[in-house]
Amino acid sequence: MSSPAPATEPPASPAPKITVIGTGYLGATHAAAMADLGFEVLGLDVDQTKVDKLRGGTAPMYEPGLEELLARHVAGLDGATGRLSFTTSFAEAAEFGDVHFVCVNTPQRAGEYACDMSYVESAIDSLAPHLTRPALVVGKSTVPVGSAARLAVRLAERAPAGEAVELAWNPEFLREGFAVQDTLHPDRLVVGVGAGPGAERAERMLREVYATPIAEGTPFLVTDLPTAELVKTAANAFLSTKISFINAMAEICEAAGGDVTLLAEALGHDDRIGRKFLRAGIGFGGGCLPKDIRAFMARAGELGAAEALAFLREIDSINMRRRVHMVDLTRETLDGSLLGKRIAVLGAAFKPDSDDVRDSPALNIAGQLHLQGAQVTVYDPKAMENAKAVFPPLSYASSAVEAARGAHAVLHLTEWREFRELDPAVLADVVTDRHILDGRNTLDPALWRKSRWTYRALGRPAA
């Protein structure tokens, strides 16, 4: 008898092709990272200028490591793998992709706390008519809880493939300045799926997309759609609360003569509390935390649970007060008047390693000082052009030394490494008065005082 033929492995299914709709901070990074994980990726944006930049390997914003990924993968660039390309066509994206990530902005609605969902809805409405075969649409944008279920119905109604198009929600947890690292090596992956027959397929496809980080040990959490939506907003609410708590303690320290940095250090040794996000200063900003906690409050009100998040209103208030307190501290340092005083502001981005000036505490303080009669000169290593577009009346310098030339006070408002490494003696040679105000509590007071500077910071004694 002849021996039976050896069993053959079924042919491996091809890896899913990925589209990323929206190429801002989230989308451009996600598209480049997916290409780096080995997938063929098509990024889509309605902004032709942004698409042209990306096709040339230029990121539309500053994000460490992003342009290196673009150079490695954008089709048409010398030495690139060619796995990453860009388009403005939803029809092309629908034909190309098996998994479509929606990464568009969800800003605060004008004049309200609520989230503006128009960009997400537009992305879904523009993509859906071209989905003629089974596909998975994955939301990554931060949205009010309940949005995914509504969008799933909207998608099924508008897509020719109907119920063969599944919607899942996979919230992002990126930190600007660390977005590439956070995408390639996330600390957790959360996937929300519906209750229908397509849920299992959605989970399976996303496990395939994230196979590499899962193999590295990244937890993969599968939830229902509302829970997945809540994870991001709840995380941002918690971080905002922790930041505002230590800033509230700074206010108490100022009233009682305590030192908030020593208080934070003592609290941080308690492993139930931890040290992260316990540095007092001028508060948080950017395109996420402020608008997300406001949208969370608005959505809680719509759900009839406003009292559950009433504390977030005070969190927001504490955060905004820090900016006013920094202006007040500057005025106090300058003998009670800002009129005609020359002030150097070191920092314009809302955080270091970013050029993002959206709701930047640093730029907001600079603007308040200007409106109260000070002559303000700003320097930031990466955010100068964005700052000029937002606050053109301010003066801008090409370096920290140039910004400080002739200044009566120097304000440290974005904790760039470059500013922490400044030599107080060098800066002393160009200023009019040696007043340094540390809005981030990251400078060394002893080092500055050694060069005969007056060092002031929120929540700390004057000497």
| Pair 214, 258 in one domain | no
Q: Where do runs of H (alpha helix) occur along 334-410?
A: 361-371, 384-390, 400-404
Examine residue 6 and state whether it is found in any structural domain, yes or no. no
| Pair 133, 157 in one domain | yes
* 260-268 helix and 225-256 helix, angle to the nearest 10 degrees: 130
| Pair 229, 179 in one domain | no
| Pair 197, 278 in one domain | no
**Can you tell me the distance from the alpha carbon of 32 to that of 19, in angstroms, rounded to the nearest whole number?**
11
Residue numbers of the domain that contains 58: 18-218
What does the pLDDT look like over 93-112, one tens digit per residue?
Answer: 999 999 999 999 999 999 99
**Cα-based distances in Å from 69 to 11, 28, 29, 189:** 31, 10, 9, 21
Q: Cβ–Cβ contacts within 10 Å for residue 384, how many?
A: 18
327 sits in which H/E element: helix 311-333
Phi-psi sector, 358: left (phi>0), alpha (psi -120 to 50), beta: beta
**Can you tell me the distance from the alpha carbon of 236 to that of 295, in angstroms, rounded to the nearest whole number?**
11
Q: Which residues are catalytic?
A: 288
Confidence of residue 168 (pLDDT cuts 50, 70, 90): very high
Task: Give the end of a domain, one of 175, 191, 218.
Answer: 218
What does the pLDDT look like over 219-278, one tens digit per residue?
Answer: 999 999 999 999 999 999 999 999 999 999 999 999 999 999 999 999 999 999 999 999
| Pair 268, 414 in one domain | yes
Contact 460, 258 (CB under 8 A): no
Which residues, at least 6 apart from 226, have a Cβ–Cβ distance to it below 8 Å? 145, 146, 148, 149, 192
Q: Average per-residue pLDDT in the chain?
A: 95
Examine residue 134 and state whether it is found in any structural domain, yes or no. yes
What does the pLDDT look like over 368-405, one tens digit per residue?
Answer: 999 999 999 999 999 999 999 999 999 999 999 999 99
Region 70-86 average pLDDT? 96
Whole-prediction pTM: 0.92
Amino acid at 17: K
Edge to edge, what strands does the sheet with 84-87 contain?
84-87, 41-44, 18-21, 99-102, 135-139, 165-169, 189-193, 220-224
Task: Give the end of a domain, one of 195, 218, 241.
Answer: 218
| Pair 337, 258 in one domain | yes
Determine the pLDDT at residue 196. Answer: 82
The total number of structural domains in the chain stands at 2
Supply 105's token pair: 């902005």
Determine the pLDDT at residue 163. Answer: 87
Residues pairing with 84 in the sheet? 41, 74
**Can you tell me the distance from the alpha carbon of 222 to that of 203, in angstroms, rounded to the nearest whole number?**
8
CATH of the domain at 162: 3.40.50.720
Confidence of residue 12 (pLDDT cuts 50, 70, 90): low
| Pair 310, 252 in one domain | yes
**Can you tell me the distance from the alpha carbon of 158 to that of 346, in angstroms, rounded to the nearest whole number?**
50
Examine residue 9 and state whether it is found in any structural domain, yes or no. no
List, in sequence order, every beta strand (DSSP E) within 212-279.
220-224
Determine the pLDDT at residue 443. Answer: 97
Q: What is the dihedral of CA 247, 250, 251, 254, to 10 degrees?
A: -160
Residues pairing with 375 in the sheet? 342
| Pair 293, 394 in one domain | yes
Confidence of residue 3 (pLDDT cuts 50, 70, 90): very low
Contact 293, 238 (CB under 8 A): no
**Can you tell me the distance from the alpha carbon of 133 to that of 95, in angstroms, rounded to the nearest whole number?**
9
